[in-house]
Structure 1
Amino acid sequence: MNVSRTRLALLIGLAGGLLLALVVVSPMLLISMPSFLSEGRTSIDCADTAQVEEASDSATADIPANYLELYKEHGDKIGVQWNILAAVGKRETDHGRSKLPGVRSGTNSAGAAGPMQFLISTWGGKARIPVSSTFNGYASDGDGDGIGDVYNPADAILGAARMLKRNGAPENVRQALFVYNRAWWYVDQVEEIARKYAKSGDVKVPPQAEEECDDSLVEAAPSDVVAKILQFALAQRGKPYLWGGTGPDAFDCSGVIYAAYRSAGLSIPRTTFGQWPFGVKVLEGEEQPGDLVFFNSGPGTSANNPGHVGLVVSKGKMLEARCRLCGPIKVTSYEARGNRVGFTRPLQNPDVLEQLKKLQNPSL
């Protein structure tokens, strides 16, 4: 990256709510759903219909085989264009072949390191750092050894994919690249390289799952109530983010969830700060569609006061309204986020249980 690292770090913090401290996850309570909420539903997986852009002859000739495999693997995993990832790797260090300071060891004059040129501060303060679900940063473990090594191509490429995704890719890839390196000439250069790497000669947005997949998500809901919540929430995709918005034309992160629950006849707190203590805590791995997933993101937030929330729609996936510059409301991966705080189940709150009973028997 050839622009001011200080300005870049500030922009990343603004765009993604990046905090550099480790967070402490609150103890989770394992709970089960009452019988009237969990009967008559079976799990249906939604097929991933995304297609990987084929590599051009230019790409296969220029990109080392192990790097090409990693660009495709992590691009597909996170949901960003592999050829954009590859173009960043080319522009930054010629896929790790550069002999400039900071590529294989140490840092350059701006404090950046590794084949994808991460600021050490945004990687976690160290070049090699243990990676866990509570870590809040871009340090990533792309090879499964438990360590985020900024010099390891597998780790660095996964971290770059997560950073691009967090800042607008794949839909708004130019914005994501601008955050990666705050210069429009850089964005233009990366896109030009990406076009040469694609057999089609284009920078395509990876196709999302077919729209009929929504039906599968709704049908797989653990109850009719959750199905109604998901049906409303999924219908809001493509609408813009608006701080304080509760629809119908725009929402913020907690607003779309509040409105989705209201569509099912249920009342929950309006804000993220209210929703976090409202639901019963759920163990990671036990979350279900309809549950909420929270993140330590935003000024003044912490592990005990998360500032961002998404609605779980299937294992590993959530619907979220992220921020004004992050693109429209969409389904994203919560497993790819390192600043996750925990999960809650509003449907287990005593007040909601009473609301559900009244919905089933209005005479109560």
Structure 2
Amino acid sequence: MKLSPTRLALLLGLAAVLLVVAVVISPMLLITMPSFLSDGGTTADCTDTADVEQVSDSGASDIPENYLGLYQEYGKKIGVQWTILAAVGKRETDHGRSDLPGVKSGTNYAGAAGPMQFLISTWGGKARIPMSSTFNGYASDGDGDGVGDVYNPADAILGAAKMLKRNGAPENVRRALFVYNRAWWYVDQVEEIARRYAKSGEVELPPQASEDCDDPLVEAAPSDVVAKILAFALAQRGKPYLWGGTGPDAYDCSGVIYAAYRAAGLAIPRTTFGQWPFGIKVSAGQEQPGDLVFFNSGPGTSPDSPGHVGLVVSKGKMLEARCRLCGPIKVTSYGSRTDRVGFTRPLQNPDVQEQLKRLQNPTL
């Protein structure tokens, strides 16, 4: 097709304008372009998104305001996805709005009660328990009145968060939900509700220091020795917990730390009870990668004799082998753990200082 001089001039002028726009805009695109586009691939998100998940419009319209606040508060406090908590509340009793037996009083045919439908035996043996009493169960005092009331939404939601955490959440949500109600169709339904409640449309999972996230952690280590400790410990991620285990196929909490230090050429005590007094105490907030964080957890333990330990890999994050029912060795958060008793730095123990000198100068 032959163009008239007028049309040709218009087309040339338009091309010139587009060229100028492209030249001006393209540097801005390079500056603002997300990293997953700029390098032609995807990059791992190694940040913790658990605290930034927002509620969807459908979630905001469906969840009563007081329940939404409780799901979000206790999800964050205990360290489980609030969307999963809310989905359990929806699936069990429509956030306490159901008039079926056992929701507001009594129990249902299975012996469950309250907005989160705890079995009374799982709650602690009775529906209302003074928190000063001794009991075995998930009875909790969410509203601070001194009583764990299975019919009180604050108490019940806090108890449900603890139960989900105990059984694998936030990392292994499906396993935690299966323990809550032993049916895979129930797990599927709860996850679907949770996705609808999340603005992202997904059930957020915490970063697990995957291989894509390991390098930054190791590179940020304060010394080459700590880098070796972290590299070994992170490589054990995904292996099972085994009481008394020191590898190579399974570990307990202190065993994986003992092995990680040994991989760096250092000898420290084998057990948690031995590791606690061994390291130099470090104030909270001053801990750094390679330090140990201890918890008043496990039989026969106390604040002066903690029974669980994790390895600090970055501020707020630790690698831990927690328990047989808690899933495999993984990276978790220690900031929200209420049973934390303190930090230590084994590298400042005089014996370890001597070992470091010999590593640096084998002729000594």
Fold similarity call, TM over 0.5: yes
| C-alpha separation in 2, matches of 1:183 and 1:53 | 27
Shift in CA distance, 219/307, structure 1 to aligned 2, threshold 3 Å: same
What are the equivalent positions in structure 2 for 1:230-245 lying under 5 Å apart? Answer: 230-245=230-245
The residue that corresponds to 1:8 in the other structure is none
- Which residue of the partner structure matches residue 82 of structure 1? 82
CA distance in 2 between partners of 1:313 and 1:159 (Å): 29
Q: 2-side partners of 1:282 and 1:173: how far apart?
A: 33
Give secondary structure in 1 for the equivalent of 2:324: coil
Distance in 1 between residues matched to 2:303 and 2:258, nearest whole Å: 22
Deviation at 1:258, TM superposition (A): 0.6
State yes or no: 1:95 paired with 2:60: no
Which moved further from structure 2: 251-260 or 211-220? 211-220
- Which deviates the most, 328-337 or 94-103? 94-103
Contact 2:92 2:115 in 1 (8 A): no
Give the corresponding residue for 2:10. none
Quick check: 2:229–2:264 contact (8 Å CA) kept in 1?
Answer: yes
* Shift in Å, 1:72: 5.2
Structure 2 counterpart of 1:363 = 363
Distance 1:287 1:121, change over 3 A: farther
Q: How far has the Cα of 1:195 moved from its partner? A: 5.2
Aligned Cα RMSD in Å?
4.2
Further displaced range: 247-256 or 261-270:
247-256
1:204-252 CA deviation, whole Å, 9 max, x = no partner? 6455567443333223323222222112112221222222222223222
CA pair 83-314 structure 1, distance change in 2 beyond 3 A:
same
Tell which deviates more after alignment, 216-225 or 190-199: 190-199
Shift of residue 325, structure 1, vs aligned partner: 2.1
1:125-157 superposed Cα distances (whole Å, 9 cap, x missing partner): 96789xxxxxxx885879xx9999878867765
Bigger drift between 326-335 and 156-165 goes to: 156-165
One-letter code of the match for 2:311?
L
Matched, 1:327 2:327: yes
Q: 1:312 to 1:207 in 2, by over 3 A?
A: closer
Larger mean Cα displacement after TM superposition, 91-100 or 329-338: 91-100
For 1:213, the equivalent position in structure 2 comes to 213
C-alpha distance in 2 between matches for 1:181 and 1:345: 42
Where does residue 350 of structure 1 map in the other structure? 350
Gaps of 5+ in 1: 1-45, 130-136
Report deviation, 1:305: 3.0
Cα separation, 1, equivalents of 2:305 and 2:295: 9
**What is the Cα deviation at residue 318 of structure 1?**
0.9
Higher mean C-alpha displacement, 152-161 vs 215-224: 152-161
Q: In 1, distance between residues paired with 2:116 and 2:53? A: 23
Q: State how far apart, in whole Å, the 2-side matches of 1:114 and 1:128 are.
A: 20
SS at match of 2:322: coil
Higher relative contact order (CA 8 A, sep 6+): 1
The residue aligned with 1:296 is 296
Aligned-partner Cα distance in 2 for 1:206–1:358: 40
What code does the residue aligned with 1:88 have?
V
Specify the code of the residue in structure 2 equivalent to 1:355: Q
* Contact kept in structure 1, 2:208 and 2:330, CA below 8 Å: no
Q: CA 1:281–1:182 in structure 2 vs 1: closer, same or farther (change >3 Å)?
A: farther
The 5-angstrom pairing of residues 136-215 of structure 1 reads 157=157, 160-181=160-181, 187=187, 190-191=190-191, 193-194=193-194, 197=197, 205=205, 208=208, 211-215=211-215
TM-score between the two structures when normalised by the length of structure 2: 0.66
Instruction: Return 323-332 or 243-252, whichever deviates more.
Output: 243-252
Q: Summarize the Cα distance change of 1:128–1:299 in structure 2 as closer, same or farther, 3 Å threshold.
A: closer
Q: Give the letter for the 1:361 counterpart.
A: N
CA contact (8 A) 2:79 2:165 kept: yes
Q: Does the 8 A contact of 1:47 with 1:209 survive in 2?
A: no
1:6-55 Cα shifts (integer Å, max 9, x gaps)? xxxxxxxxxxxxxxxxxxxxxxxxxxxxxxxxxxxxxxxx6436697776
1:260 deviates by: 0.7
Deviates more, 1:60-69 or 1:218-227: 60-69
Deviation at 1:319, TM superposition (A): 0.5
Matches within 5 A, 1:221-260: 221-260=221-260
* Structure-2 residue corresponding to 1:272: 272
Give the direction of change, closer, same or farther, for the CA distance of 1:128–1:272 in structure 2 (3 Å limit). closer
Q: What is the CA deviation profile of residues 243-299 of structure 1, one whole-angstrom value per residue up to 9, with x for unaligned ones?
A: 222222322211110111011110011122221222223333332221111222223
Q: What is the DSSP-based 3-state SS (H/G/I as helix, E as strand, rest coil) of the residue aligned with 1:332?
A: strand
Paired residues, what number? 309
1:300 alignment partner, SS class: coil
Bigger Cα displacement from structure 2, 252-261 vs 55-64: 55-64
Q: Compute the displacement of 1:180 (Å).
A: 3.7
Q: Measure the CA separation in 1 of the matches of 2:348 and 2:317.
A: 21
Q: Which amino acid aligns with 1:234?
A: L
Distance 1:61 1:321, change over 3 A: same
CA 359–156 in structure 1, closer or farther in 2 if over 3 Å, else same: farther
Give the 3 Å change call, closer, same or farther, for CA 73–99 of structure 1 in structure 2: same
Contact 1:49/1:209 (8 A) holds in 2:
no
SS in 1 for 2:214: helix
Q: Which residue of structure 2 aligns with residue 12 of structure 1?
A: none
Check the 8 A contact 2:129/2:147 in 1, yes or no.
no
